[in-house]
Amino acid sequence: MALQLGDTAPDFTQESTSGTIEFHKWAGDSWVLFFSHPKDYTPVCTTELGEIAKLKPELDKRNVKSIGISVDPLSDHKGWAKDIEDVKGTALNFPLLAGDDRKVAEAFDMIHPKADSNHTVRSVFVIDPNKKVRLILTYPASTGRNWAEVLRAIDSLQLTDNYKVATPVNWNDGDDVIIAPSLSTEEAKKLFPAGWDEQKPYLRVTKQPGK
């Protein structure tokens, strides 16, 4: 069965461009951004991986480690890494897992045979420090992902883990948030003493806490 939100991410040991990765041990106390791409030496993937490398300072700020995979062998990854640096100006600064044995890709259900039986699709998993899967996205090979959206979603996950709020449509860090509908008015008064804008009894908008 496919992985679902709340599942424990499968553990694995696999070779990568950064040496052998024992996944859970490597993740440690960090959040993890784990993504697949269909194939080495392809244009969209080259832009995506270079961009992730550039985002390292933003990922570090959020205590997120990134790690990628395709169904290609390690020897291809190592050659291709040079192209990524040429094109995007930043060297790979995260592990790319060897995927030619398909073991990890299958454990994470990253091969969708009706789309392409030979290559991984563009999957994204955000995994929390307890190794629970917290977000899953799946894009087709022809559509490059928007990493800014993934960072935005990580911001939401981390905020809503710490405060009893939810984030509305198109929210970005610093924008107003929604008080969790599960909170009674009395509970909300204690947690949000500065108050809120009650647009509906179930839609109470307040300043982002912790800012």
- The answer to whether 121 touches 36, Cβ cutoff 8 Å, is yes
Task: Please pick, from the candidates 14, 38, 70, 124, the single residue that binds ligand BEZ as defined by CB under 6 A.
Answer: 38
Q: Taking CB under 6 A as the criterion, which residues in 72-91 touch ligand BEZ?
A: none
Q: Does 43 bind ligand BEZ (CB under 6 A)?
A: yes
CB neighbour burial string for 155-191, b if at least 16 within 10 angstroms, e if fewer: bbbbbeeebbbebeeebeeeeebbbeeebeeeebeee
- Selected catalytic residue, list 32, 45, 110, 127: 45
Q: Is 50 in the site for ligand BEZ (CB under 6 A)?
A: no
Radius of gyration, CA atoms only, the chain: 19
- Give how far Cα 90 sits from Cα of 34, 54, 147, Å: 19, 6, 16
Whole-angstrom distance, CA of residue 90 vs CA of residue 80 = 13
Q: Closest separation between CB of residue 199 and ligand BEZ, Å?
A: 43
117 interacts with ligand BEZ by CB under 6 A: no
Q: Would you state the structure tokens that stand for residue 59, as one six-digit string?
A: 């990922």
**Is there binding between residue 153 and ligand BEZ (CB under 6 A)?**
no
Task: Determine the interface stretch with ligand BEZ among 38-46, 156-164, 177-185, 200-208 (rule: CB under 6 A).
Answer: 38-46
Q: Is 45 a catalytic residue?
A: yes
Q: Summarize as ranges the residues that interact with ligand BEZ (CB under 6 A).
A: 38-39, 42-45, 141-142
Which are the catalytic amino acids? 45
